[in-house]
Structure formats: C-alpha cells, structure tokens
Structure 1
Amino acid sequence: MQPVILFIHGFGSNGFGSKAQIMRDYCAKHDIRFIAPSLSHIPALAWQTLTELVEQLSALLAPQQLCVMGSSLGGFYAHCLAVKYHLKVVLINPSMHAGTSLQRALGEAINYYDNSPYEWRESYVDTLLQLEPTYPSALSDDNCWLLAQTADELLDYREAVIALPHARQTIETGGDHGFVDFARYPAQIIAFFKGTD
C-alpha cells in the first residue's frame, strides 16, 4: 500500500519550497500521492487547515496510510499532528519549541514566495506555545524519524535530539537550516513510511 504524504513547510515558506518540490517530483515518478499546502502565516489558521485536512484524509484512507513530514516550523506542526493523530512522521531540522524560537521574528517578516511583508505578532507566538506538546516525545523509532544537520544556523539541533529520545535519529555534521543535499533522502523516507526500510 502506497503512503499518502502531507508535507508541511516552514516559517515564511510555502508548498513550493525546495524540499517540498524534491518530494513532489519523487512522488510523481512513483505514483505516490503528495500534498504540500501553502499555509497561512497565522498559526491558528494554519493549525485549523492542517487538522481539518488530516481528519478528512484519514476518513478516506486506510489506517496508517496517511504520513506527515515537515521542516523547521513545519516540523513543529508535523510533530504536533503525529502526536494528536498517531501518524508516522519525518522531521527535517524541526523547531521543537517554535513559540520560543520565533520570539526573535516578532515584527515584520517576509513571505519567501513573493517577498511580500507580513507582521509576525506576539499572539502568534502564544498560539505556538499553547500547541507545543509535552517533551520528551513518546514517538518511537518506528513512527518518527529525525533528520538534522549540526550546522543549522537558525535552530540548535540538540533541542530536537533531546526532545525526541526514542525516535530514529540521523544527525549529519555540517549542513545548514535548509538541510543540504536533501535530494538523497526521498527514497529512504518513502521506505520508512511504508515500513520496508
């Protein structure tokens, strides 16, 4: 049975970011359904979109068929969804404490799709703090895979290592926040979601 993959982009990004496109292209070649919505920058709206999408898809699919992955802030949302709905998840340089890490973004931010500005507000940070699950996460190595690079310039990879003690962890020396050479991983990610790795 082929997985159906929900990809969640990071802060200021969109469903056409580089990692989403790499996964989209791979899935298209292998007849795997792939969804990467472009979410609102407002966390309450993004979370509503994601939970409604997961609930609708889960009602239509076989158990465990829906899988989720996310990068940075998208990794935070993906982890929250995995905990809430018992989904398999892949986290790429995730923000485990998004409310805390995004305090530094307060004020004007930039949408990377068209470079349009938007305001990042304290109330948005509060929403993320409320969403944050309890750590350490109970997700295990058969349903959660952490991909992190130590030279991430925006997030300390060790926070994810500590928050996900039971997850499968692939920690690469060097790299950056965008996760250098992510194109090495789509086949392995699909195998993980299928349980055939």
Structure 2
Amino acid sequence: MSQPLIIYIHGFNSSPDSFKARCFVKWMAEAGRSDEVLVPRLPHWPQQAIRQLEQLVEEHAKRDITLVGSSLGGYYSTWLVEKYGLRAVLINPAVRPYELLAEMLGEQGNFYTDERYELTSEHLEQLLAVNCGVLKEPARYLLLTQTADETLDYREAVDKFSDSPKLVQQGGSHGFDQFEQVIPSLLAFAEGRVELPLQTDLTVAAEKD
C-alpha cells in the first residue's frame, strides 16, 4: 500500500501559518504522522498556484494523495481532483471566486506574510480558466461548510456538491469554527471512508466558545 499524503491548500491571502493549517499540522505531529502532510505556500497568481500544486501532485504521484482545501484552496482542489482523480475535503470552499473577487480589485495584502500586491482582472481570468463546471465523480469530495460564513454563501457549495457527502453546520464562520472537531472525519475520508456525526448529510448546531 502506498504511503498516504494529505496536501493542505490554504485560501486567498492566507498561508501555512493560518489557524486551520497550524491546527492540522499540530494534530498530525501529535499523532506521529508529520511525514503525511504538506502545506505549500502559494503565490497570489492563480496560474502560478495551480502549476505549483500540479507539480507537487505529480512529484508525489506514487502516494495516496488527499487534498484539504480551504476557501479558495477548495476551488483549486476541485481542479486537481478533476485532473488527477484524487479525493478532497473542502472546507467552506469558494465556488465562483472569479465573481467574488471582482468586487475586491485593487491593492491587497496577505494576512500572514504582509506581502502587498495588486489584485487585477488578470487574476480573475486565471481563476476562470480553472473552473470545473461538472464533477465527474462527486463521491471524491467531502464538503464541510458552516451556514454563518460571512465571506461566502454556503448554499453555493451545497448546490455544486449536492451529490457529495457533506456536513452542514448551523452557525460558525468562514474560518470554520471548531475545526479540530472535524479532523477525525477528514482523516477517515483520506482513508476512503465517510464517517460523519450521525449521518452523511447532517445539519448540526455549531458549538460556541
């Protein structure tokens, strides 16, 4: 059996230093599985980010790869699943980022690296170029989403991944509150199993700190 590998793909203006990325890396380290996770730092240009991710997947092609994509990382993950036949866990994924980011053109800054850059129409064109309209195998995706996402309309993801296993939590946030509680489900999916609380398509109340 090939060695498993989970590639965590961060979102827009994020990095491997994001809360969820660090939380997941810590979890894997404590389980003695640090060699099973990679968290690449992606450039802001979609074309460059996709190429970097494609090269990473091809470099580790002999391993059993699962993607974990957050927000824009979920959008990138969809492209990679459709191209390489992988499986992916999508956390509050962006479905049409080329529309969402059209309202944010202009100067941008990465929340973690302090990098400054100009978000342009070329970014949107590059995003549109990797849009996947029809999913070949919906069962390759596990959708984790929360209804109080302040950045994205969770219903877009629920609609796009309507035939995929999913967990829809009432409340929460774009950052996905209580992320650590779904890591066991994420790891189960990486092993080819769907193990969600009570049932595959479940709506539960998100706990608050």
Question: TM-score, normalising length from structure 1?
Answer: 0.92
SS at match of 1:31: coil
Tell me the alpha carbon deviations over residues 20-77 of structure 1, each in whole angstroms, 9 at most, x when there is no partner: 111111111223310001100011111110011111111x32xxx1110111101100
Provide the secondary structure at the position in 1 that maps to 2:128: helix
Preserved CA contact (<8 Å) 1:152 1:176: yes
| Residue in 1 that maps onto 2:56 | 53
Q: Deviations over 1:137-179 (max 9, x none)?
A: 23333x2100001111111011111111211111111111111
Give the equivalent residue in structure 1 for 2:207. none
Letter in 1 for 2:57: V
Residue aligned with 1:90, SS: strand
Q: Secondary structure at the match of 1:48?
A: helix
What's 2:147 paired with?
A: 150
8 Å Cα contact 1:138-1:166 kept in structure 2: no
Shift in alpha-carbon separation, 1:100–1:190, aligned structure 2, 3 A: same
Partner amino acid, structure 2, of 1:100: E
Residue aligning to 1:86: 85
Gaps of 5+ in 2: 196-209
> Which residue in the other structure is 2:32 paired with?
31
Between 184-193 and 34-43, the greater mean CA deviation after superposition: 184-193
Q: How does 1:48-197 map to 2 (within 5 A)?
A: 48-58=51-61, 60-61=62-63, 65-135=64-134, 137-141=135-139, 143-196=140-193, 197=195
Structure 1, unaligned runs of 5 or more: none
2:200 aligned residue: none
